[in-house]
Every structure is written in C-alpha cells, then in structure tokens.
Amino acid sequence: MKPIGIYIHVPFCEKKCPYCNFYSIAPTKELIASYKNRIIDELYLLGKKLNRTANTLYFGGGTPSILAAETIGEIISAAKSAFKLKSSEVTLEVNPTSASKINFDKLLSYGVNRLSIGLQSANENELQLLGRQHTVQMARNTVITAQKAGLNNISLDLMLAIPEQTLESLFYSIEFCSELNVQHISAYLLKVENGTPYFLNKNHLNFCDDNSQSQFYLAACKKLEELGFLQYEISNFSKPGYKSQHNLKYWDALEYLGLGPSAHSFINKKRFYCKNSLTDFINASPTIDDGFGGYEEEYSLLRLRLTDGLNNELFFNRFKKNIPKRYFENAKLYEKPGLVTLTDSSIKLTKPGFLVSNELISRIIL
Ligand code: SF4
C-alpha cells in the first residue's frame, strides 16, 4: 500500500480577506489549545485504525503560521508516531503578517522542510485591493529570514487578474519572486466567490472580463517559464525537482487524510470530509460521507489538470485497461483549435485548454 498524505486544516485567521471563502475564524488561546489537542487525538486514533504510513504532511488554512512553532512541532511529532512519517515533505502555509513571530529555526528542527507563502502580489496597491494585512517588504523579509534559517524549498502564491492589475505589474510580481530565488510558484486567477465581501461589492470593483483573464493567465505562464518555473499543473510552476509532492497526490487521485474543520479525505476508495465548524471538530463530530472516489472518470478528470495529462501506461497500471477510446475521439475535436495535444497513448491539455479546463475535461470524459 502506498504511503498517504496528511492535510491539517488550521482554521484561524486574524482578519478575513474579502475574496476568501475558506473556513476560518478568529483565534483565541483556548480555541487553539482545544484544536491542537483534538488534532493530536485524531492522529493517534486514525493512525491506529488505518494502520498506514504517510510521506507528506501539509499544514493549510486559514493561517497555520498563527500557531506557535512548539504547537506545530507537537502535531508533527504525533504524525511521526501515528503514521511513521519519515524523510517526508512537510509543508507549512505562511502568511507574511504573522511571519515576524515565527521561529524558522525551531520549525526546521521539528521537521518543516517546505513553506508556501501567501504573497499574492509585489505591488502595494494590489495588496490593499485584496485586503491583505502585509506589505511587500514583510513578504520579502519572510522569505529571506526563512532562507537564512536553512529552508530552501519555498513556494510563493500569486494572484492573477486582480482589479487594477496590468501586465506590467504582473511581470513585476513574477520577477520579484524569481529574484528571491524561490523554487515554486502557484499562480491563481482571482475568482469572485459567492457570499464573499468581494462578491457583494462586485459592481464597484474593476474586475477583469474573461478576455483579460485569459491574457493574464497566458502571459503569466510564458513569463514564469522564461524564468525557469516549469508548469506542471493548471496553476502550479516549479524549478526542476520541486513539484509539491503533497498536492500531486490530489491530482494523481492518491490517498490522503484531512484533519480539521472543512478538511477532505480520500481513503480506501471513499471520500469524506469534516464539517465547516471548529466546535463540531473539537467535539469529535462524525465526518460526512462524500461517496466513492478514484474511479476511472474521476482519475482522468484529475490527471488532465496536470501538464503530463493522461497516459495509457499509468492508466493501465491503475485500471488494468487502456484509456477508453471515446476519450481520444472526444479530445480529437479540440486538437485543431489548439486546446489539446494527442498521441496514440496520451491526452494533454494545452495552456489555452487549461483556461477552459472544467468544460473541456467534462466534454472529453463524457
Ligand atoms: S489569510 Fe488566507 S485563509 Fe485567511 S482569509 Fe486571507 S486568504 Fe483566506
């Protein structure tokens, strides 16, 4: 059995960003203590029940960097005991706002070896429009301090199609990341999610239309590749050897265990998730069943998000048969318009294909 990934959702943010719809609440000492105890109990409980090993651990949020280094250390230590986590990728999402309080030396000694830092933009006006609480300088200091401590696998998040963004300001942000010598960049198109303050204000903010969104995306892909960041997924780019091992499990439809409010899991062919409620999580309320996973269509849908796409060899290894012929027939319709590339044994989306991936993938695996 392959090692699983473990995702820990840390549901605390000092202040909510107006575009964000992830589950998070304001932290208190008591809530953090109860949350940590519950996470550790769950790790031991599920470690015993599942009897599996893990090789990636990912602290996402919310704002994991709100937690004290010692708290993160205790959770890592529990994961090591319960899931024999060793020589693994251990990622911590970091918000530059909380970075001045972070002890990177301690984190490194506890086993954190990868950071994912929420930069979003290297332009102050764009950070303000996004409602971020940090400055560009705070983000730069975070990266430099972490590097000095010996953390040399760092990812920066960038946002594309921010109101008021121009191609020039986008290129400035990308060059800023490159000059900081980071190994990985995630570049997401800003989505106006239902129910967020951005959504309520959408008529007053200068959001990009579809055409400009495409321009930003394609220009970012090109610029990132010129600077040596190779695209491996719709929104993810890395220097050679630095793909996110944890996130690859999602796109390869491999197993992972998600702990914490709103965290999702895929174990033993079943998908399930925790409710969006810290109280329910602390009270050990049961997870919610989300049906079966890992079947052919789902696997294909996830793999087509990767630049490597779908290929017969991997498909055969998993399902003991070739990719269904109809996938190739359906995909063939989009070859000429430049949305897919095909060989006898593989289907891959192109960059313009990635821009319409949801619609395109569903048409391929009809
Ligand atoms: S810090 Fe991150 S998780 Fe928290 S509100 Fe902002 S974007 Fe969302």
Ligand 1 centroid–CA 18 distance in Å is: 9
Q: Where exactly are the structural domains of the chain? A: 4-250, 303-366
Q: Which atom of ligand 1 has the smallest separation from the CA of 20?
A: 8
Ligand 1 atom 3, closest CA: 62
Would you say 337 and 326 are in contact if contact means Cβ atoms under 8 Å apart?
no
Top-tier CATH class for 4-250: alpha beta
Ligand 1 atom 2, closest CA: 62
Ligand 1 centroid–CA 339 distance in Å is: 33
Domain 303-366 is of which CATH architecture? Orthogonal Bundle (1.10)
Q: In what order do the strands lie in the sheet with 54-61?
A: 230-233, 236-238, 184-189, 154-160, 114-120, 89-94, 54-61, 4-10, 256-259, 264-267, 270-273, 288-292
Tens of pLDDT, residue by residue over 75-101, are: 999 999 999 998 899 999 999 998 888
What is the crossing angle of helices 296-303 and 312-319, to 10°? Answer: 150
Cβ of 188 less than 6 Å from ligand 1: no
What's the confidence (pLDDT) of residue 18?
A: 94
Q: Does this model's pTM top 0.95?
A: yes
Ligand 1 pocket test: which of 9, 17, 262 has the largest number of ligand atoms within 8 Å of its C-beta? 17
Would you say 39 and 260 are in contact if contact means Cβ atoms under 8 Å apart?
yes
Ligand 1 centroid–CA 218 distance in Å is: 26
Tens of pLDDT, residue by residue over 257-302, are: 999 999 999 999 999 999 999 999 999 999 999 999 999 999 999 9
Cβ of 63 less than 6 Å from ligand 1: yes
